[in-house]
Amino acid sequence: MNTKITTRELVITALLIAFGIVIPTACGFLRVVLPPAFTATLLAHVPIFIAMFISPWSALFTAIGTTIGFQFSGLDPVVVARAGSHIVFTLVGAFMVKKNVNIVLTGVVTTLLHAVVEALTVFLFLSLGWTVAKNGASFISVAFYTTGIGTLIHSAIDYVIAVVIAIPLTKAKAIPKLPKIF
């Protein structure tokens, strides 16, 4: 792995972190909330996915930066922990892109991994009593049905949007060339 990050990549990564913080904190009109642990803000993952297309370093820094931003913005701890879990799927996806795995397969793998890791994060919070299921809902239904399936859908939509945005960014040479679609 290239252990260097260029100044250009660092600046783009910083901008992606800023977008990754502003979108979920300032665009409440794009948010869906299903208590106790699921929130989804349309476009919230787009900066992370674009960072994933740049490099593993960009993906890692963007995932960490957005998590810190969520913490400072006062969001619920389970939401911050879910944001922290993005490190897992973004690194996997960034290495897939680096290995030139096609965009569709990368999307399927990262979307599934994203949903599983977020569901496990919520399940951990529920199991430890750090958040509580409402109206007698089971841990399984809150963690795996609501959060897991919700994240699967939300991640897939954001991934497609990120690819649509990344295509002209690659043509403008703002980010590296994407692997083939299929």
pLDDT digits (tens, 9 = 90+) for 19-59: 999 998 888 888 888 877 788 889 999 999 999 999 999 99
* Residues 175, 177, 181, 182, Cα dihedral to 10°: -140
Write out pLDDT tens, residues 143-169.
Answer: 888 899 999 999 999 999 999 999 999
Give 3's pLDDT tier (boundaries 50, 70, 90). low
Quote the pTM value: 0.92
pLDDT at residue 1 greater than cutoff 60:
no
CA distance 41 to 31: 4
> What CATH architecture does domain 7-171 belong to?
Orthogonal Bundle (1.10)
| Coil vs helix vs strand at 101 | coil
Write out pLDDT tens, residues 67-88.
Answer: 998 888 777 899 899 999 999 9
Write out pLDDT tens, residues 113-138.
Answer: 999 999 999 999 988 988 888 777 78
Q: What's the gap between Cα 179 and its chain centre?
A: 20
| Coil vs helix vs strand at 33 | strand
Q: Where are the domains of the chain?
A: 7-171
Give 2's pLDDT tier (boundaries 50, 70, 90). low
